[in-house]
Amino acid sequence: MASKQGESKGSAPGKNMLWGGRFTGGLDPLMVAYNESIYYDRAFYAQDIAGSIAWARANKNRGILTSDEFSAIEKGFAQVREEWATNTFEIKPGVDEDIHTANERRLGEIIGTGIAGKLHTGRSRNEQIATDMRLWLHEELRKIEGHLANLLKVVAARAEQEIEHVMPGYTHLQRAQPIRWSHWMLSYGLAFATDLQRLREVVKRVNRSPLGCGALAGNPFDIDRDAMAKELGFDELIYNSMAGVADRDFVVETMQWGSTLMLHMSRWAEDLIVYSSAEFGFVKLADAYSTGSSLMPQKKNPDSLELLRGKSGRAFGHMAGLMMTIKGIPSTYNKDLQESVEPLLDHVKTVGDSIQIATGVLSTLVIQPDKMLAALTPDMLATDLADYLVRKGVPFRETHHISGQVVALAEKEKTPMDQLTFEQLQSVDKRFDKDIEETFDYQKSVEMRSAKGGTSKSSVEEQVKVLKKMLEGQ
């Protein structure tokens, strides 16, 4: 009696489940839902179908399928793909456990289970999901590469067009030395360009084929893995079958890359949030990337930038969560690896959307050079005073002290440094000559920083050229 009551609480696995033959006992309905991945791995429908067609073709070439059977499978999958694309595919809860099961079940309904049942010969879902994820991710990372390239093009264009404008540069969020606005843009632009280089390296390691690895031990029908990889656009194979089904390094590495990019994006957004505040007023965000206050009519909030800053934490969480999931599992496939799919999907969307938002923000941003210029103060040229004496042969440690005395004098007299008299300057050090007045010039200050990587016009122009070369893959 107890046994019958226990059996009634669940239902036996559906006959269409690829693993159902071994099991006769019931499944807890919650376990069915807990186990299902179809509602998110459906994103891989096109890749799963492409992999299945390549698999069927390889089996035809090994004599496992006839040409007519292969043609039926290929034609049937064309209909399945169309149903997914037009959102008419009907998912059967409790039956369509994942995208692989759903596609094979529907194929059997279209062409008959006799032929469709041959499709899975020698194949495991372990290799299928790894193949699907890699195919999908390769396509998505190429899209992200395009989005990032667009952002860098905007950075380069604005850096060239707005190179004349000078603003304060900051350390410790305190005004430090004059810099060009373009120099600030390129400080992040070159970081994003390095991210682009890293992305291109990640893509290479993503684009390796696990198809033909079986559940863990390989394929018993001498299937041509190279031919399948070539058909699907993979660059190379994963050469160990156990590694092929277990490896999620490509997901972790993608998330590590995305987290690094979002780290840069967050800092970039933070700077612009500060620069857009009334206290700074260096930039104005377009209405398209701002919102207002529900209470205060005068407010214009930089929500786009705040969301970029906030979503960086989300991206970091994807990476850390997955690493904690997979760090202790034993070799080959374990169900824990199913937890790599949802964070990957969200990570790729978060990063891709963020880059596009950042590009929109920067494309429509309005700078206010008068506010930048007004924020410059003569004390920011204190290092220039020290450099002036260095050129007269005075040791820098001494000139640094002398310049500090000039700053102290200006503070004592409540007078900007550039308005101190020549006599006052000489009272600090007799080696100041009349030409010291030329030092109090912000444009001259930035032009003096002409070594590679500096903020002079020639250095900034060189940085733009370097960025463009990185963009081109050089």
Residue pair 192/152 in contact by the 8 Å Cβ criterion: yes
Q: What is the pLDDT of residue 300?
A: 83
Q: Which domains occur in the chain, in start order? A: 12-116 (1.10.275.10), 125-374 (1.20.200.10), 378-455 (1.10.40.30)
Question: Residues 351, 356, 362, 364: is their CA dihedral positive or negative?
Answer: negative
pLDDT at 15 over 70: no
pLDDT, tens digit (0-9, with 9 covering 90-100), for 42-96: 999 999 999 999 999 999 999 999 999 999 999 999 999 999 999 999 999 989 9
Q: At what angle do helices 67-85 and 99-111 cross, to 10 degrees?
A: 120
Helix (H) or strand (E) holding 15: none
Spatial neighbors of 454 by CB under 8 A, at least 6 apart, are none
Q: What is the pLDDT of residue 440?
A: 94
Say if strands 283-284 and 236-237 run parallel, antiparallel, or are unpaired.
unpaired
**172 catalytically annotated:** yes
Residue pair 338/133 in contact by the 8 Å Cβ criterion: no
CA dist., res. 472 & res. 474, Å (int): 6
Work out the average pLDDT over 340-359. 98
Active-site residue (options: 3, 8, 67, 172): 172
pLDDT, tens digit (0-9, with 9 covering 90-100), for 189-235: 999 999 999 999 999 999 999 999 999 999 999 999 999 999 999 99
Residue 326 to residues 169, 212, 257, 322, 340, Cα–Cα distance (Å)? 43, 23, 18, 6, 9
Q: What is the pLDDT of residue 13?
A: 53
Higher pLDDT, 176 or 8: 176
pLDDT, tens digit (0-9, with 9 covering 90-100), for 140-175: 999 999 999 999 999 999 999 999 999 999 999 999
Work out the average pLDDT over 97-124. 97
Work out the average pLDDT over 1-26. 48
Higher pLDDT, 14 or 117: 117
Nearest to 214 by CA among 295, 317, 349, 121: 121
CA dist., res. 242 & res. 239, Å (int): 9
Q: Global pTM?
A: 0.91
Helix (H) or strand (E) holding 153: helix 125-161
Q: What is the pLDDT of residue 22?
A: 54
Amino acid residing at 453: G
Active-site residue (options: 277, 293, 331, 458): 293
CA dist., res. 370 & res. 349, Å (int): 38
* Exposed/middle/buried for residue 333 (C-beta within 10 Å: 0-12, 13-18, 19+): buried
Q: What is the pLDDT of residue 21?
A: 55
**Helical H segments across 220-374, by residue range:** 225-232, 241-246, 249-275, 303-326, 341-364, 369-374
User: In the predicted model, what is the mean pLDDT of the chain?
Assistant: 93
pLDDT at 33 over 90: no
* Exposed/middle/buried for residue 364 (C-beta within 10 Å: 0-12, 13-18, 19+): middle
**400 catalytically annotated:** no
Work out the average pLDDT over 108-120. 97
Amino acid residing at 111: I
CA dist., res. 240 & res. 253, Å (int): 19
CA dist., res. 18 & res. 100, Å (int): 9
pLDDT, tens digit (0-9, with 9 covering 90-100), for 277-333: 999 999 999 999 988 666 576 668 999 999 999 999 999 999 999 999 999 999 999
